[in-house]
């Protein structure tokens, strides 16, 4: 089958069969399809769309373009499952969720990414831990998934290589905004991990990846249908990102917060509630719990016993980090040289937060990347971030800023202050943390 014929058919808005899509994606992976052809394909998909069967085939072809992990030879004593988030600010769920699920009997081979735009990246957070290796060899990765139950690492060159090429071309050809291409990119990498089940966290709100609530819902529905259609039971929680999930944002600060939750503290926080909801969905969907009540009991036992924290510590040490991080986090997670509070210019109730602006503030401080090759300062960030609905008096802190110097802090403090809308009286009710749960052919 000629690549030109596949392109012509998609250009003419014809439906491609699975064979044509797999042929094209194999060529993307092995280099026989050129960048110009990839760009033409992506543009044709953006303009003409794909039906559900095409989108499933594209996801499967992305998954199958490289290594697909198999676990049967390890004789695991529980299901293989994972979670993925579309990203946000103060979203350190993965750091807590992976070891928590492992402590409940799951095996979590979590392939994570770096920060993108205003959103933080799980790998960047983990690299705040001295010695932590996000690119171990396959044997170590598999052994940790078996013995510890969780390993959080970066994407290897052998997993879904077609996605890396296709995304690189999309990024420079104005073809990123296409639902089937987005879903195939997200799911292709995840399903290549050989999962028994997958739970997605799709963010809704002004700090979300998708621009509107309707777009987030459309993405969530597509992920459920396409992931399940590709053979992996998939569900999605739509969760709120109209404010940072944790009250901090920044790599080392978020590792500190993860350790706090794994010790059993912070159970009244938004971060705990969302993490608990995702963990419950994972346990029930994977058959590790009979229902939500059973899942809650198992999760409480794993946290209260210290087993979840122990799994995190074993993962960190297994991947090159210190064995006593949980006992001595301040020794290993260096603080920023300069801290200062950004205070309220007047009294009022926090009625709105520009979450994206807070994330970009972390980037500007050096906690994220403006360009792909930039180094990250893991020490910087924000903490004690005021919440929606919170009453603030004049001169009280809206947040604490962690920077390399006073000059760096001064450069962003005004913009961070302007990210908060203070009203009198309060006119905004904090949104529900869980907007909806979507499962195959059902939603709530």
d(CA 227, CA 284): 17
Q: Does 82 participate in catalysis according to the annotation?
A: yes
Which residues make up the CATH 3.40.1030.10 domain(s) of the chain?
72-158+171-328+435-443
- Collapsing DSSP to helix, strand or coil, 442 comes out as strand
Task: Name the active-site residue from 185, 197, 239, 349.
Answer: 185
**CA–CA dist 417, 186 (Å, integer):** 34
What pLDDT band is residue 167 in, cutting at 50, 70 and 90?
confident
* 122 flagged as catalytic: yes
What would the mean pLDDT of 159-188 be, rounded to a whole number?
90
Q: 441 pLDDT exceeds 70? A: no
Length of the chain: 444
Q: pLDDT confidence of 444, banded at 50, 70, 90?
A: very low
Least confident range from 46-60, 343-357, 400-414, 418-432: namely 418-432
364 secondary structure, DSSP code: I
Place of tokens 């103060």: 90
**Is the bond preceding 425 in cis, omega lying within 30 degrees of 0?**
yes
Least confident of 16-30, 80-94, 426-440: 426-440
pLDDT tens figures, 149-161: 999 998 777 889 9
Q: What are the pLDDT digits (tens) for 125-155?
A: 999 999 999 999 999 999 999 999 999 998 7
Helix axes 292-304, 307-318, angle to 10 degrees: 70
Rg (the chain; Cα; Å): 22
203 is catalytic: no
190 is catalytic: yes
Whether residue 239 contacts residue 435, with contact meaning beta carbons closer than 8 Å, is answered with: yes
Q: Which residue intervals of the chain bear CATH 3.90.1170.30?
A: 335-423
Catalytic status, residue 85: yes
Q: Which of 23, 63, 82, 275 is catalytic?
A: 82
Is 170 annotated as catalytic?
A: yes
Q: Which position among 107, 114, 118, 170 bears the catalytic label?
A: 170
d(CA 136, CA 233): 28
Q: Is the pLDDT of residue 426 over 70?
A: no
Average pLDDT of span 223-235? 95
Q: Is 84 a catalytic residue?
A: yes
Least confident piece of the model among 48-52, 267-271, 427-431: 427-431
* Residue-wise pLDDT tens digits, 337-381: 999 999 999 999 999 999 999 999 999 999 987 776 778 999 999
Contact 416, 358 (CB under 8 A): yes
Instruction: Considering the candidates 62, 65, 85, 234, report the single residue annotated as catalytic.
Output: 85
Q: CA 298, 435, 253, 377 torsion: positive or negative?
A: positive
Average pLDDT value for the chain: 94
Q: Is the pLDDT of residue 20 over 60?
A: yes
Tokens of 170: 């999309």
* Half-sphere exposure at residue 158, Cβ-oriented, CA atoms within 13 angstroms: 8
- 298 or 441, which is more confident: 298
Closest CA to 379 of 343, 419, 408: 408
Backbone CA torsion sign across 135, 136, 142, 145 = negative
Which among 103, 104, 83 has a CA at the least distance from the CA of 94? Answer: 83
Question: What does the alpha-carbon distance between residue 187 and residue 234 come to, in Å, rounded to a whole number?
Answer: 10
Selected catalytic residue, list 118, 190, 203, 435: 190
Q: From CA 112, how far away is CA 98, in angstroms rounded?
A: 11
CATH class label, 335-423? alpha beta
Cα 341–chain centre separation: 28
Supply the pLDDT for residue 428: 62
Kindly report the pTM of this predicted structure: 0.93
pLDDT, residue 443, reads 44
104-133 average pLDDT score:
89
pLDDT of 172 > 90? The answer is no
Q: Could you tell me if 150 and 190 are in contact, meaning their C-beta atoms sit under 8 angstroms apart?
A: no
Protein fold of 72-158+171-328+435-443 = Pyrimidine Nucleoside Phosphorylase; Chain A, domain 2 (3.40.1030)
Which of 63, 83, 107, 256 is the catalytic position? 83
With a cut of 80, say whether residue 94 has pLDDT above it.
yes
Q: Do 356 and 206 form a contact (C-beta atoms < 8 A)?
A: yes
DSSP category for residue 286: T
pLDDT above 70 covers what percent of the chain?
97
226 contacts: CB under 8 Å, gap ≥ 6 = 52, 55, 56, 59, 180, 183, 184, 187, 234
Sign of CA dihedral 250, 256, 262, 264: negative
Partnered with residue 184 across adjacent β-strands are none
Q: Which of 22, 84, 311, 402 is catalytic?
A: 84
């Amino acid at each position: 089958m000629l690549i030109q014929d596949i392109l012509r058919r998609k250009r003419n808005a014809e439906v491609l069969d699975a064979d044509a899509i797999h042929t094209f994606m194999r060529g993307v992976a092995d280099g026989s399809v050129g960048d110009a052809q990839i760009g033409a394909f992506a543009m044709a998909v953006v303009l003409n769309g794909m039906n559900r069967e095409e989108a499933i085939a594209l996801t499967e072809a992305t998954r199958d373009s490289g290594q697909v992990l198999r676990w049967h030879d390890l004789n695991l004593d529980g299901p293989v499952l994972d979670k993925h988030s579309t990203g946000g600010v103060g979203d350190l769920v993965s750091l807590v969720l992976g070891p928590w699920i492992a402590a409940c009997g799951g095996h979590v081979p979590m392939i994570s990414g770096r920060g993108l735009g205003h959103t933080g990246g799980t790998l960047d957070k983990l690299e705040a831990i001295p010695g932590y290796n996000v690119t171990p060899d396959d044997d170590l990765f598999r052994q940790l998934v078996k013995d510890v139950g969780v390993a959080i690492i970066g994407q290897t060159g052998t997993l879904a290589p077609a996605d890396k090429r296709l995304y690189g071309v999309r990024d420079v050809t104005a073809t990123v905004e296409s639902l089937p291409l987005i879903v195939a990119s997200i799911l292709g990498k995840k399903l290549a991990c050989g999962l028994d089940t997958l739970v997605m966290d799709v963010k809704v709100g002004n700090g979300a990846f998708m621009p509107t609530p309707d777009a987030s819902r459309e993405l969530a529905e597509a992920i459920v249908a396409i992931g399940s259609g590709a053979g992996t039971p998939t569900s999605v929680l739509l969760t709120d990102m109209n404010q940072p999930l944790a009250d901090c944002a920044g790599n080392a600060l978020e590792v500190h917060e993860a350790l706090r939750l794994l010790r059993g503290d912070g159970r009244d926080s938004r971060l705990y509630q969302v993490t608990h909801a995702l963990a419950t969905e994972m346990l029930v969907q994977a058959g590790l719990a009979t229902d939500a009540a059973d899942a809650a009991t198992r999760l409480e036992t794993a946290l209260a016993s210290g087993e979840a924290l122990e799994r995190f510590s074993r993962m960190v040490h297994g991947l090159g980090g210190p064995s006593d991080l949980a006992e001595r986090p301040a020794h290993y997670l260096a603080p920023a040289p300069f801290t200062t509070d950004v205070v309220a210019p007047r009294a009022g109730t926090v009625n709105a937060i520009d979450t994206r602006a807070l994330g970009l503030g972390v980037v500007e401080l050096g906690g994220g990347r403006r360009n792909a090759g930039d180094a990250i300062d893991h020490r910087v960030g924000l903490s004690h971030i005021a919440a929606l609905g919170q009453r603030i008096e004049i001169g009280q802190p809206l947040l604490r800023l962690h920077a390399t110097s006073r000059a760096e802090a001064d450069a962003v403090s005004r913009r961070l202050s302007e990210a908060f809308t203070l009203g009198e009286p309060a006119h905004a009710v904090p949104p529900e943390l869980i907007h909806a749960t979507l499962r195959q052919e059902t939603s709530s």
